[in-house]
């Protein structure tokens, strides 16, 4: 995805020769942007929807994600902007730009806080509620001061997050992204092997192929699964940073499509085998199921490997989400300042500020699952579907075809309706449970 004529690339210095990124690196970075914390909740969506509707929903949302990215790229190259917020500014003025920046910041900052919470849960457990559990480090070494939750997250922040977030090019993260994808595959592979073994042992129950509506599950509850999968496929905030380091727009299209196929396969695999493994006992966070004590040493070892592999995966996803968060925050706060990559002082201050804030939030609020649940219904669905569809319908460059407008209308309509129903149902269930 090369810059439009006369456009400036906001992430790279002007005076240095630009070394183009590779398609393989872009595939790893896009795939890592997609596979985040959402993978943990995919198995629970199969319990709610049934196997067949969940598979169809994953395919549909992956297809719509591909269409929306194509819309974004086409309108980017027809204008002068090189960022998502800039494309929205060309279509809707300053309001569109600020709305995009706020959505990116809400989505990414919420995810970064959640990642640190999950990492803390895996390493040091969570004893803040009645369902508290010990972490891997505490199970191995007992409860020590150095494996407490605060220290474990701080150690991760200083020695893993900080060196990666100080890199100024997305392409520089391709190796860490490749490892992150490999760890996700390990997570799925071990879960699949455990599920297959359980099938031969006769320890699995028959999965529901279609949803069953009863007193616990209403028709509207089915819509609460949609935002989970939408969030799982929301990577649009990194389309421009990754794409503009490639040589051709067609390279980014190829990278996105390969990544979507790969990630859809990973999502459905972990969903199916996770559901087979735990059945209706599957939790909204599948890692909680792996926390349960095993009846064998090998089972306990596999549980620890699954949990640690996923925690390491999140550690390597963190810098990619931080990258776009930092760029959008800088664009919002300092729109007339020089390029962020050329201003070392501003770059370091923003980087450290975001790390410190997300760390303090993760420590202060050890459980923000309800906030994370609403991300897919609000900011994430705007970035993934509503904003790209609105850009096509606005059509400031006069390049939308009749097919584009029909697809954009369907995309926006489905996003608004399903999100409104999901938000209403979540609010009703939340206050209904409280009462």
Cβ burial 108-133 (10 Å sphere, 16+ → b, else e): bbbbbbbbbbbbbbbbbbbeeeeeeb
Q: What is the pLDDT of residue 350?
A: 93
Residues paired with 94 in a beta bridge? none
In this predicted model, what pLDDT tens digit does every residue of 165-196 receive, in sequence order? 998 888 788 888 899 889 888 888 888 888 88
Render each residue's pLDDT in the chain as its tens digit; 435 residues. 333 333 344 444 444 445 567 888 889 999 988 887 677 778 878 887 888 888 999 999 999 999 999 999 999 988 888 889 999 999 999 999 999 999 998 888 888 888 888 888 888 876 544 445 667 887 788 777 787 888 999 999 999 999 999 988 887 888 888 998 898 888 888 888 888 888 887 777 777 777 666 655 555 566 667 777 887 888 898 888 888 878 677 788 899 999 999 999 999 998 888 888 887 777 766 776 776 655 666 767 878 888 888 889 989 999 988 988 998 899 888 888 877 777 888 999 999 999 999 999 888 876 555 555 566 567 888 998 999 999 999 999 999 999 999 999 999 998 888 778 777 776 776 666 554
What pLDDT, on a 0 to 100 scale, did the predictor assign at position 371? 57
**Residue 206: per-residue pLDDT:** 73
| Residue 369: partners with Cβ closer than 8 Å, 6 or more residues away | 284, 285
The set of residues, in sequence order, having a beta carbon less than 8 Å from that of 303 and lying 6+ positions away, is: 290, 291, 292, 294
Q: Determine the pLDDT at residue 10.
A: 45
Q: Other CB atoms closer than 10 Å to residue 140's CB: what's the count?
A: 10
Q: Bin 292: left if φ > 0, else alpha if -120 < ψ < 50, else beta.
A: beta
Give the integer Cα–Cα distance in Å for 256 and 353: 31
**What pLDDT was estimated at residue 9?**
42
pLDDT of residue 138: 79
pLDDT of 141: 81
Q: Which residues contact 189 (CB under 8 A, 6 or more apart)?
A: none
For the chain, domain boundaries: 27-208+219-429
Give dist(CA 383, CA 417) in Å, integer: 16
The pTM (predicted TM-score) of the whole model is 0.82
Give Cα separations from 137 to 7, 23, 298 (angstroms): 50, 38, 18
Distance CA 406, CA 67 (A): 12
Q: What is the pLDDT of residue 5?
A: 35
What pLDDT does 59 receive? 93
Please state which CATH number belongs to domain 27-208+219-429.
1.20.1740.10
pLDDT, position 257: 94
Per the rule left: phi > 0, alpha: psi between -120 and 50, beta: everything else, 342 is alpha
């Amino acid at each position: 995805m090369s810059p439009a004529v006369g456009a400036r690339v906001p992430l790279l210095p002007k005076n240095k020769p630009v070394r183009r990124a590779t398609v393989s690196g872009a595939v790893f970075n896009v795939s890592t942007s997609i596979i985040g914390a959402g993978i943990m909740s995919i198995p629970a969506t199969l319990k709610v929807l049934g196997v067949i509707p969940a598979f169809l929903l994953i395919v549909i949302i992956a297809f719509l994600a591909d269409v929306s990215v194509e819309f974004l790229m086409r309108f980017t190259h027809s204008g002068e902007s090189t960022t998502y917020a800039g494309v929205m500014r060309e279509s809707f003025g300053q309001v569109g730009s600020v709305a995009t920046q706020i959505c990116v910041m809400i989505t990414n900052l919420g995810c970064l806080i959640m990642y640190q919470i999950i990492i803390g849960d895996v390493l040091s457990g969570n004893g803040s509620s009645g369902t508290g559990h010990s972490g891997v480090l505490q199970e191995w070494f007992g409860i020590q001061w150095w494996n407490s939750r605060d220290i474990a997250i701080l150690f991760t922040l200083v020695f893993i997050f900080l060196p990666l977030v100080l890199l100024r090019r997305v392409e520089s993260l391709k190796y860490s992204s490749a490892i992150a994808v490999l760890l996700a595959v390990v997570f799925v592979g071990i879960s699949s092997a455990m599920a297959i073994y359980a099938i031969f042992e006769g320890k699995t129950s028959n999965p529901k192929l279609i949803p069953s509506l009863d007193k616990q599950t209403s028709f509207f509850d089915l819509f609460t699964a949609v935002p989970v999968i939408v969030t799982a496929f929301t990577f649009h905030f990194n389309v421009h940073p990754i794409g503009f380091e490639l040589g051709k727009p067609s390279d980014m299209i190829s990278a996105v499509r390969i990544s979507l196929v790969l990630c859809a396969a990973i999502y459905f695999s972990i969903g199916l085998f996770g559901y087979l493994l735990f059945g209706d006992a599957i939790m909204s966070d599948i890692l909680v199921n792996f926390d349960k004590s095993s009846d064998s040493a090998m089972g306990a070892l596999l549980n620890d490997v699954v949990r640690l592999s996923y925690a390491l995966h999140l550690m390597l996803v963190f810098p990619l989400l931080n990258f776009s968060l930092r760029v959008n925050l800088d664009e919002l706060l300092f729109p007339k300042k020089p390029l962020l990559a050329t201003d070392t002082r501003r770059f370091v201050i923003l980087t450290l500020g975001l790390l410190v804030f997300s760390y303090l939030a993760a420590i202060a609020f050890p459980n923000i699952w309800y906030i994370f649940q609403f991300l897919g219904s609000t900011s994430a669905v705007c970035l993934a579907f509503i904003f790209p569809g609105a850009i096509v319908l606005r059509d400031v460059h006069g390049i939308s075809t009749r097919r584009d407008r029909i697809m954009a209308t369907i995309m926006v309509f489905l996003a608004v309706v399903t999100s409104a129903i999901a938000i209403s149902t979540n609010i009703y269930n939340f206050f209904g449970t409280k009462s």
